[in-house]
Amino acid sequence: MREKELIVYRDFEDGELLEKMSYLMSNYDNPSLEISDLKNLMYECLSGLVEEAGNYGFHGNLWHTYLANLLVNNENSYSCGCEVKGEITGTINRAALHDIEIFREFFVFDLREVMERLDVPDFDIIFDYEASTRESKVYNTRICGRICELAKLLGRAADAPEMKDVLTKFYKDYGVGKFGLHKSFRVTHDESGVHIVPILNIAHVKLDDLVGYESAKKKLKNNTESFVMGLKANNCLLYGDAGTGKSSCIKAIANEYYERGLRIIEIYKHQFQDLNEVIAQIKKRNYKFIIYMDDLSFEDFEIEYKYLKAIIEGGLEKRPANVLIYATSNRRHLIKETSIDNEEVRADLHNGDTIQEKLSLAYRFGVTIYFGSPDKKQYSEIVKALAARNGILLPEEDLLAEAGKWELTHGGLSGRTATQFIDYLLGAHMST
C-alpha cells in the first residue's frame, strides 16, 4: 500500500491505525513474517476500529467510515480551498487526485482475503457494524450520519475522479475539519498554546422558540444575515434583564446559520488575552465567525476590557471581515460605575475622561439590542405558548394561577422563569 506516497493528505490526527492496516494489507501473505504476529496485528486493528466506532458513533463498514473520517478532518490546501466555495482550479487538483487514487486502493482492498489467510473470522464484524445507543464522545448524531453516508458514497464510486467529486461536494456542503463539522466552539489554553475546541452538544433552539421580543430578534437576525451574506455588519450587544432569552438567541443564531457557514466561538473574559491568537487561527478560513461573550461585565478593578477594546476597534491590525463580536450582558455600559464616578470633587481631576474610558467599550458595539423583563400579561402569554408547545393540557385558569405562584418564589417575571415552570410541570407529569 502507498500511504507514504501521499502528497496533500498527510499528518492525520488518527493516522496510526491507517499505518497498521496498510502494513497488514501489504504483508499478510509475506512468507518471511510470522503469521501469529500478523494475526495479533489484525486483532489490534479490529480493536482500534471498534473503539473508533464507540468514540464517533460510526456504523456500517467501519474501515470505510474510518477512511472517510480521515478525509473530512484533514485540513490541507485542497480541502480548505474547497470548503464552502466548492471546486477549485489549479494544479492542486492533480495532487489531490493522486492522493485519492491511493485512498481508493484502501477502499477497494478485499480484507476477506486477509481474514482467511490469517484465520481471523471475527474481523467480519466491521463490515456491517451496528452502533450502540450510547452517544458519541466526538460527534452528534447529525455529523456522524453524514460521515457514514459519505463512506458509502466513496465506497460505491466507480473510480478516483468520482471519489474526488463526492469528497469535493462534501467539503462544499459541510466544510472540512472541526470548523466544517461543528457549529460552536470554546477556547482552551495549555502549555502547547491556544486551542479552539468543538462544543459537542448545543441546544437545538430556534429564534421562533423564543416567545415575544419580535423587534429584538429581527434586529439580531438582520445584522447576522448581512454578516453571513458578506455585507457590512456590526458587533452586537444584547443587554437587559436576566432570563430574558439573550443567550438563547445566540444559540438560535448558531443553529439557523450553520448551513450557511456561520460558526460561534465562546470565550470568557479571563481569556481575552488569547483573542489575538484565536483570530489568527480563523481569519483565513472560509467561514463567518462570531466570537461570543456571555454575561459580559467588568468590575472597577478588572482591566480585561482593554484587550477587548483593542480587538473590537482601535488596534493596529484591522479586524478580519469574517469575524464579529457578539456579547450578552445585564449591564448596558458593561463596566461597573459607582457613585464616586459622578462626584464633582474627587482625587481624579479628569473625571470626564475616566467615565468616557468606561463607556467607550459599550460604544464599540454598533448594534445594541434591549431585552426587558415581561410584564404580567406578557409572562402569561409566554407560559401559555410554552404549555401549548409542550402539550400541557391544564385549564388556562389553573395554568396561570400556578405560574403566578411559581414566579413569586423563582426569580420573578422572565422567560427563563416561565421555561422552568413548564419544565417543572413536565417533570411532575412524567413522575405521576
- One digit per residue, the tens of pLDDT, for the chain of length 432 reads 899 999 999 999 889 999 999 999 999 999 999 999 999 999 999 999 999 998 888 999 999 999 999 999 999 999 998 987 788 989 999 999 999 999 999 999 999 999 999 999 999 999 999 987 666 677 777 888 899 999 999 999 999 999 999 999 999 888 899 898 888 999 999 888 999 999 877 778 888 888 888 899 999 999 999 999 999 999 999 988 888 888 889 999 999 998 888 999 999 888 888 888 999 999 888 899 999 998 877 666 566 666 676 667 655 456 788 999 998 987 666 556 554 445 544 555 445 554 555 556 667 788 999 988 888 888 888 888 888 888 888 888 888 888 888 888 888 888 888 888 888 888 876 544
| Closest by CA position to 107, among listed 135, 65, 170, 50 | 65
What is the pLDDT, as a whole number, of residue 159? 96
| Residue 236 · residue 223 · CB < 8 Å | yes
What is the rounded CA–CA span in Å between residue 258 and residue 70?
A: 22
What is the rounded CA–CA span in Å between residue 101 and residue 158?
A: 11
Instruction: Give, to the nearest 10 degrees, the angle between helix 92-108 and helix 160-174.
Output: 110
Number of H helices, E strands in the chain: 17, 7
What is the pLDDT, as a whole number, of residue 175? 86
What are the Cα distances from residue 11, in Å, to 3, 75, 235? 11, 10, 37
| Closest by CA position to 124, among listed 232, 43, 8 | 43
What is the rounded CA–CA span in Å between residue 302 and residue 305?
A: 7
What is the pLDDT, as a whole number, of residue 167? 96
What is the chain's length? 432
| Closest by CA position to 367, among listed 220, 159, 186, 262 | 220
What is the rounded CA–CA span in Å between residue 63 and residue 281?
A: 32
Look-up of cell digits 496533500 = 8
Instruction: Give, to the nearest 10 degrees, the angle between helix 16-27 and helix 62-73.
Output: 130
What is the pLDDT, as a whole number, of residue 394? 85
What is the pLDDT, as a whole number, of residue 313? 65
What is the pLDDT, as a whole number, of residue 264? 95
What is the pLDDT, as a whole number, of residue 242? 81
| Closest by CA position to 353, among listed 345, 363, 365, 341 | 341
What is the pLDDT, as a whole number, of residue 332? 64
| Residue 328 · residue 247 · CB < 8 Å | yes
What is the pLDDT, as a whole number, of residue 330? 79
Residue 195's identity, in one-letter code, is H
